[in-house]
Every structure is written in C-alpha cells, then in structure tokens.
Structure 1
C-alpha cells in the first residue's frame, strides 16, 4: 500500500477515467455533522450494508445520489458483495465506514476502536483502492475517545441525522413514509435522513413512495459530501488500484 498527495491522486484518477465527482481540497480538522447545509438538499443515507437490497435502492434513486455507510461483517460479509460495492461506487453514490461489525464504539478501548475501523478500511482499499474519510457511528454512539481515534486515522467527518425512518427498529413502511412526508412538508430546509439498505420495505415500499414526492416538492437528493456545499470534500483517500480477490478476502 502507498499514499499519494491529493494532487497526485486526483491526476492519477483522472487519467484512469475513474473520477466520480470533482474533489475539492480536503479541509483540516474533524467535524461532527448533524445536518445538510444547502437549502433544498436532502441526503438520504443507508446504513448496515452491503446486503441484498442496495441495487434496489440505487434503482429507485435513479439519477439522484445517496450515501451508504457500510459494515464489513454485519448482515453480510462485504467480501461476498464486492460487485455490489463497486456498482454503488461506479454509480457515484458516496460510500462511508460504519465499522466492521456494527460495534458500539463507546464500549471499546482504543485498540478495539482502531481494529473496527482498520478492518473496514482494508476492505474498502482492496475493493475500491480507496480509504473512506466519512463515518457514521453505529447507534449514533460516540465519545471523545472515538473522535480522537477517527481524527488520528485521518477521517474528516462523522455524520449523524435529522430524521430516522425507524426501519431498522421494526417500524412499518407507513411510519417511514410519514417521516419522509414531514421532510417533504418542510421544503426547502435541508435534511439528513437515516434509513437502512438492509430492510426490504425501505427499498420496495418507502423509497418508491417518497423519492418522487421529494423531487416533486423541489428537493435535490444528493450525497452527504454534496449537501455540505463548500464544507464538503472528496470523501476518500486514494491508495491505489482495486485489488483482485484471493483467499485472504474473507470475514472469518
């Protein structure tokens, strides 16, 4: 593995034709993000994958963009979903870290936090050649030690949310639709919405209902880096070309 400067990474990616969005220079410092910052923007975010429904979610979004905070080994081993992860990236959705095993990081010591982050970073680097710089904590749970370790590992932002559709808590599709109806009625105020790509009803009922209504209200559906406007940045560090799976690409 090797590390490149931002300028060199940008040039290399451009030459490879794999730029998915024009990156801006990364800012110094680490931030906790509670909401989008651009009027008229909604960031729909999806946790806990990769699993079986990311393709369905992406299909409903169409030309709009979402953000997927991925685990390494939660509902499914990330190495069993390589094509899914690469397809999301190729479609220009933003991918971030959600820890390796969906651990509550506030219950771990420093070594445990580092291991949860390192293993999912390694998977991103193998699959995409990129290290994630955006992070969502499982359960929205973090403390000063978590923030310290994230900053030390080069992360730029930790994302929370303004609304939770409740899908992972067993709420009905109708409940989730109601949450998004509230967002629709609040146009043009920005929102950062939590959902889960591991829940079938989110992909097959909630999003088909909500996406056209959000668009009809005038909202842009964008990834979290876009919805921050000038405070966003390219959400990855370029490490190298994607790898080729072998026997070491396993969760066990």
Structure 2
C-alpha cells in the first residue's frame, strides 16, 4: 500500500497532464478519503439523502452526462418503496453510493452500530441491484478512525467529501446555491466536487438546471465521481448476484 507521502509524490508527477486538487488520504486496506475530483475540466455534482421524490427529475436533466447519488435506506422514505427509481438511476449510468441506512452521525455510534448502519443499506443495494456499494459519503461529512476502520473491514474503497457545498440542506436560498455554482464555474478548469441534496424540491427544479447550464458554458464536463478520479477511480460496486424480486423481507 502506498504511504500518504508516496501518493503525494506520485500525483505531483501526474500534475503536468492532469490537474490534481488534493492527493487522497490512504487508509486501511486501500480505503481513501477523497475531497475533490482529479481530472482537469471535470466537476462531479453529487446528491445526498435520497431516494425521495426528485431523483429522476434531477437525473433526466443530465442528458448524456452523469451525476452521483449517495443513498440512504430509510431517511425521507424507505428505499424499498423506491425500487424502480433506484434501478432507473443505475440503468441510466449514474453512480450510486452508500450514505448509511438512516443518516446517523457515525461518530456518535458504537462499532456494532456503525456496522448495522452500513449492512442494512448494503443489503438493500444487493436486493435491488445485485450490487454492493464500494463508495461512501458520511452523513454530515463526519467520520473518525473507528468509522474508517469499519468501512475498511466492509470492503469500501473510497470515502467522498466535497470542495463546494450549495447549502441547500441548511436552508440556504436558491440564489445562494446558484452563487456557489457561479464560484465553481469561475474556477474552470480546476476539478471540483459539489455537494447538493436530491430531497430538496428547489434544488431539483431550479439549482440543477442552472448548474448544468452554467458549468457546461464555462467549459466543464459533468461526470460521476468514479470518472472524475481518472485512473484512481474504479467500478464503484462489488457484484453479488442477480437483482432480487420484492417479497416480505423488503421493508424498513
């Protein structure tokens, strides 16, 4: 496994051809904490806290470009009540990651409770898609060494944070969120990773179309997080088997 120093040196060499915002932090068993995209001219727009009512509306606005959705199991609604929606996002080529079962701050939980928060949403992914997620975003961006240790034990590859937060989950106005997008656009071609929330109606109806238009006009390509990491990315899932058929065990 590379040390953090070795990784930093490696990405310095690559910087001549690819803009690297920040080297990853290497952790146990290859787990890395990622703060930004690596590829110059690319932005990953990421959406937390679903599934809910607006994910398909958001996804449909991307056309041939891709977004990333970090999903809960039982937050705004039960994921088993949104099976078709989750499958449609995956079929359209958007990247799906884990955001825990019920959006608890993992740093307040015991080791067993952290395992449970992860296992329950993993089981939902496996039933719905036949895939176990390997990419993760911690609720509130909150993690510690115990959280990272459990994630590594469970086979996760990357923990994703962000460079820019539109503030939608904190009640910021649409104008504030659009101002954040303007700041990202004005940073072209610096790679960026933007935090948004798919459960906010004005994000879906006003911020998303503004962001896609503004960032594309600035020259940015909108890609999922696995793509924007270039060669450091990987397939964000582990294949487990064929998707299941809903039955009495598919409940929250």
The Cα shift of 1:192 comes to 0.3
- Structure 1, residues 126-179: CA drift from partner, whole Å, max 9, x if none? 000000000000000000000000000000000000000000110011110000
Q: Is the 8 Å Cα contact of residues 60 and 203 (structure 1) preserved in structure 2? A: no
4+ long deviations beyond 3 Å: none
Matched, 1:151 2:152: yes
Which 5+ residue runs of structure 2 have no aligned equivalent?
Answer: 1-28
The Cα shift of 1:61 comes to 1.3
The Cα shift of 1:208 comes to 1.1
Matched, 1:80 2:84: no
Output the TM-score relative to the length of structure 1: 0.88
Alignment of 1:170-189 (within 5 A): 170-189=171-190
The Cα shift of 1:210 comes to 1.7
- Structure 1, residues 217-245: CA drift from partner, whole Å, max 9, x if none? 11010000000000000000000000000
- Partners of 2:242 and 2:206 lie apart in 1 by 37
Alignment of 1:226-237 (within 5 A): 226-237=227-238
- Partners of 2:237 and 2:249 lie apart in 1 by 23
Q: Is the 8 Å Cα contact of residues 103 and 138 (structure 1) preserved in structure 2? A: yes
The Cα shift of 1:62 comes to 1.5
Which residue number corresponds to residue 216 of structure 1? 217
Which residue number corresponds to residue 101 of structure 1? 102
Q: Is the 8 Å Cα contact of residues 51 and 71 (structure 2) preserved in structure 1? A: yes
Q: Is the 8 Å Cα contact of residues 66 and 93 (structure 1) preserved in structure 2? A: yes
- Partners of 2:66 and 2:153 lie apart in 1 by 29
Matched, 1:246 2:247: yes
2:61 is paired with a residue of what secondary structure?
Answer: helix
- Partners of 2:179 and 2:208 lie apart in 1 by 12
Which residue number corresponds to residue 121 of structure 1? 122
The Cα shift of 1:215 comes to 0.7
Alignment of 1:17-28 (within 5 A): none
Which residue number corresponds to residue 25 of structure 1? none
Which residue number corresponds to residue 11 of structure 1? none
The Cα shift of 1:216 comes to 1.1
Provide the aligned C-alpha RMSD in A: 0.6
- Partners of 1:176 and 1:45 lie apart in 2 by 14
Which residue number corresponds to residue 40 of structure 1? 41
The Cα shift of 1:59 comes to 1.4
- Partners of 1:146 and 1:126 lie apart in 2 by 24
2:249 is paired with a residue of what secondary structure?
Answer: coil
1:61 is paired with a residue of what secondary structure?
Answer: coil
Q: Is the 8 Å Cα contact of residues 185 and 218 (structure 2) preserved in structure 1? A: yes
Output the TM-score relative to the length of structure 2: 0.88
Aligned residues: 224
Q: Is the 8 Å Cα contact of residues 132 and 238 (structure 2) preserved in structure 1? A: yes
- Partners of 2:61 and 2:181 lie apart in 1 by 15
- Partners of 1:213 and 1:69 lie apart in 2 by 23
The Cα shift of 1:111 comes to 0.1
Task: Tell me which of the two structures has the higher relative contact order, counting C-alpha pairs closer than 8 angstroms and 6 or more residues apart.
Answer: 1
The Cα shift of 1:197 comes to 0.3
